[in-house]
Each structure stands twice: as structure tokens, then as C-alpha cells.
Structure 1
Amino acid sequence: MESQPVTSEGERKLVSDSGLTVAFQPIADVSASRVYAYEAIIRGPKGQTSAQIFESLPPEAKATFDQRCAAGAIRWAMAVGLGDSGARLLIPVQAQSIDKPAEHLEPILRVSRHAGLIAERLIFGLEGYRQVAGRDLAEIIDVHRKAGPLTAFVGLGPGHAGLALCGRYLPDLVTLESELVSAIASSWSRRLVLEDLTPRIRQLGLKVIATGVDSEAVLQRLRGFGITLVQGEEIASPALRSLPTPTLRRAAA
């Protein structure tokens, strides 16, 4: 069955009636002193993450939840200046909700075209990708690649969880768990984990985004590992309905 278009009325209902909010947090490229992307962060009325909200939904609502969130995020981002920034927009999606990738993607791309944002500036961050069958995961990445958006696997952490899938299906990017990243300035064992992970990811040709960068010490450790795409409180906090300017001075010095 053809996917229904995501309407602006539906987006307003998503944000207002349901109590959901959209915030944006920059992912900085400290090697070039610029914003690589802004992540759209969906939160519930009690601070729930998009994954927690998704799990609480009835089955019939799960099918369109990510589409409505993505459409709202695109329109809000463009309204507050994403189009002039040159940055990409990273939109988290629940991988398990994508039954038919092409049908799932089309209404989002339609909204993006109408808003004036080309598909190549979109990144879809697959949350829960380890719970998706291999052939389905491969199809999602293939559909995204042919249509223009990039694909990121979200949440690579200790124990190399998900690294084998990265090597098998080759997304464009991978994000590191914030719990792993934030501990590398104080934990020798976490530094060893990242020291081992970094060259493995690099050999696969994937870009790495380090989330959870909450101090200058963590940022400096990451630069030592050659990781230049960073996100966290040390860079900039999420901001509601605006694109915050990251702190890049010390990282670029």
C-alpha cells in the first residue's frame, strides 16, 4: 500500500497536541572549524527519547511515527536557517519501523523537496539496527544510497557491539556511544577500547561521530585518536527550534 503524505497539520499535531518537542544539536567538524550536521532530537512531554516514545506506541502508530518526526524536523530546521548553513540534518529513526524502505522514505523526501532541502543533506541515524535482519538492513542502506541520504549506525560501544554489521553492510557513518566517549578522559580501559575501535572503523572507510563530548579533556583525547566529528555539551547544548552555534575556538587552536 502506498505511504500517505506527511502533512504540515500532522506535524503541528505531533509537536503541539502530543507534547513532543524538536531540538537541534550541532555535530562539529573540528578539523575544519565548521558544523558538519545538526541532529534533530525528539523528546516527549516527560523527557522521553524518541526510542522510548516509539516503544510505547500501538503498532498502527509505529508505522508513521518516524515519518512524522522527520517531516517536522525538516520543516523546523529549514525555518530556523538550516538551508543557509551548509550543514546536513541528522534524523534518528527506529530501524525496526522500516518495513518497506522505499515507501518509508518517499514521503520524507517529498517534504524535504518542498522545504528546499536536497536529499544529499539528510542523514538517517538507524537506532536499533542490530535487531534488524541482515537483508532488511542491506535494503535500507541501498535505498538511502540510491535516493541520496546518508545512513548512520547509531551507538557503537564497548565490546565492539555492531562493528561486524558495520563491516558487512557499510553504512556511511557510525556514532559512538556517549557513555564510552565521555569516560575516555578518566578511564584507562575505555581509552583502550576506543584506541582499538578507531583504526578498525577507519579501515572500513566510515566516518565516525563521537557523541557525549562533555569536556575539553575528552575533546583533546578524541583529537589524538584522529576523530574530528564531535557532539556534546562541550560543543553546544541542544536548542529548541534554533540552530545553536558550536564552540570551536579551543578545538581549532
Structure 2
Amino acid sequence: MTARSPHQTFQPIGCAECRDHQALGFDFTMAFQPIFNVRTGATFAYEALVRGLNGESAGYILGLVNDSNRYRFDQACRVKAIEEAARLGILEIADCLLSINFLPKAVYRAETCIRATLEAARMANFPPERLMFEVTEGERVDDPEHLKSIFVEYDRQGFTTAIDDFGSGYSGLNLLAMFQPQVLKIDMALTRSIDQDPVKQAIVEGIVLVAQRLGIQVIAEGIETREESAALLALGIELMQGYLYARPEIGRLAPGNF
């Protein structure tokens, strides 16, 4: 089956249908990994990461997604993430966001595809302004204007928008030039062993400078050592995510290891 065109009409689905995993063809759950302000210790967000019911990896679950179920899967992930995060008490953490990854090719018209998300948020008493949506820079975008329209609509709805894995993929600064999100997440390929690599330090310093001039917050991903964290702090990055501070966990919102 070929991928659906962004302009093709479709029937949006609601929360109840998003929970129908029999129609999806498989079931899944969510693990949550925190993002911290390492200078203050405050929790900036928890990122929802798809997992199998027996702990199977995100790669395993994403391998079950195809053109026939991509839209339903994307919608189901949003609903599952909101419901699970609310159940685990994320709203009790002051100003903490819930970060959800989305598949641009599964969003045909942003203003209609968002209905199930807003419905799930209302049912869970989850303020929409505490939702952050991430798109990975590593996914090839065949229709940049379509992606831009998604970001514009999400921004209009009051969501925080983010480019994930920045510095790793196909579009890089071109994507940033097209649309400026509120958040950039620097890929672990640039943060890994950054304390020992002056080239990476120079690149990240440049990204931080651009982000500051555009009013964008920067998150460093994949932090595993105190030395990496210290080097990134010296470059002006306070928001960090990685195994040094907490691993993704199913069934609870892990506290930070400081």
C-alpha cells in the first residue's frame, strides 16, 4: 500500500478508537525518561518512549508500523502517553511538560489529526500547554511545507514544539531556517565524549549561539558522564537527558540521579 497524500481526505479517529489495539494489530506501552535542568534540579519534561508490553524496544514496535496502520499508531501513541503520564502523576510536578514524538507522515491535516490528542487531554484534565511534540531531524521529510504546517498548527494550539536529534539527520539548519521551534534537542552523536572533542565543542557552541539569538531552548541528549555534563554546562546548556540522570522506565516517573 502506498503512503497517503497529505491532501487526501480521511476520517479522523477519536480516543476510543485509539485504544482499539486489535484494529492496530499489536499492543504497546510507554516508558518515560526525564529531562532535567541540571543546574537547578527541576524536571523540565518527561519524554514518552514507546515500548512493547514485555519491554521490547522502540525499534521492535516501530518495525510493526506500516502505511496501513501508521496514522492509527501515531494517534494511539499520543493518547497512551497522555493517559499514562497523567495516571503516574506528571501533573503534580510543577511546570513539567510531557514530550511526545510524532510521525510527520502520519499527520495528514494537523488541525483534524489533533482532535484525538485534545480529546485525550480533556479527559485526563491535562492542560494542552503542558504538551511538547518532537519531530526527529533524522526522518527524511519529503514535503517540508507539510511539516511546517504541522508546526504552525501545533504552535497555534499552544503546544511546545521541538526538533529532536538535531545535528544527526538530513535537513539540519535547513529545517531550522524553515521553522523555529521552541526547543532543539542536540543529538547524542554531538554530545557523546564532548569533553574530549574540541570539534564537537565548537559545533555545539555554534548551535547554542544560534538558538540563543532565535529564542530557542536547547536540550542535550544522551548524557552518560559527569564530564560530558560539565562540558555542556560550560557551553551554556542546562537542560539534559540521559542515562547519567535517569533511564526510561515503564510504570513510574523516575526521579533524577544527581
On whether the aligned pair clears a TM of 0.5, the verdict is yes
Q: Is the 8 A contact 2:101 2:133 kept in 1?
A: yes
Deviation at 1:19, TM superposition (A): 5.2
Match of residue 5 from structure 2: none
Q: Is the 8 A contact 1:213 1:219 kept in 2?
A: yes
Quick check: 1:29 aligned with 2:28?
no
Instruction: Flag the 1:117–1:138 CA change in 2: closer, same or farther, 3 A.
Output: same
Quick check: 1:20 aligned with 2:28?
yes
Distance 1:227 1:14 in 2: 43
Quick check: 1:155 aligned with 2:155?
no
Instruction: Flag the 1:184–1:197 CA change in 2: closer, same or farther, 3 A.
Output: same
**Identity score, percent:** 25
C-alpha distance after superposition, 1:152-198 (max 9, x if no partner) = 11111269952222132111111111121122023232222212222
Deviation at 1:133, TM superposition (A): 1.9
Which of 216, 219, 223 is matched with 2:229 structurally? Answer: 219
Which of 116, 127, 150 is matched with 1:118 structurally? Answer: 127
Residue 253 of structure 2: SS of its match in structure 1?
Answer: coil
Segments of 5+ residues of structure 1 without an aligned counterpart are 249-253
Q: Is the 8 A contact 1:130 1:162 kept in 2?
A: no
Distance 2:45 2:124 in 1: 17
Distance 1:74 1:134 in 2: 27
Superposed, which structure 2 residues align to 1:195-234 within 5 Å? 195-234=205-244
The one-letter amino acid paired with 2:223 is V
C-alpha distance after superposition, 1:127-155 (max 9, x if no partner) = 25651423212211111111111111111
Q: Is the 8 A contact 2:168 2:189 kept in 1?
A: no
Deviation at 1:33, TM superposition (A): 2.1
Quick check: 1:60 aligned with 2:68?
yes
Distance 1:56 1:76 in 2: 22
Q: Is the 8 A contact 2:18 2:75 kept in 1?
A: no
Q: Is the 8 A contact 2:21 2:27 kept in 1?
A: no
Q: Is the 8 A contact 1:210 1:227 kept in 2?
A: yes
Residue 185 of structure 1: SS of its match in structure 2?
Answer: helix
Distance 2:88 2:214 in 1: 35
Quick check: 1:96 aligned with 2:105?
yes
Residue 60 of structure 1: SS of its match in structure 2?
Answer: coil
Q: Is the 8 A contact 1:11 1:69 kept in 2?
A: no
Which of 64, 71, 91 is matched with 1:83 structurally? Answer: 91
Q: Is the 8 A contact 2:141 2:147 kept in 1?
A: no
Segments of 5+ residues of structure 2 without an aligned counterpart are 1-9
- What is the aligned-residue RMSD (CA, Å)? 2.5
Count of aligned pairs between the two proteins: 246
The one-letter amino acid paired with 2:237 is I
The list of structure 1 runs, each at least 4 consecutive aligned residues, that deviate by more than 3 angstroms after superposition, is: 11-15, 44-48, 52-56, 158-161
Q: Is the 8 A contact 2:47 2:100 kept in 1?
A: yes
Deviation at 1:209, TM superposition (A): 1.0
Match of residue 7 from structure 2: none
Distance 1:171 1:114 in 2: 27
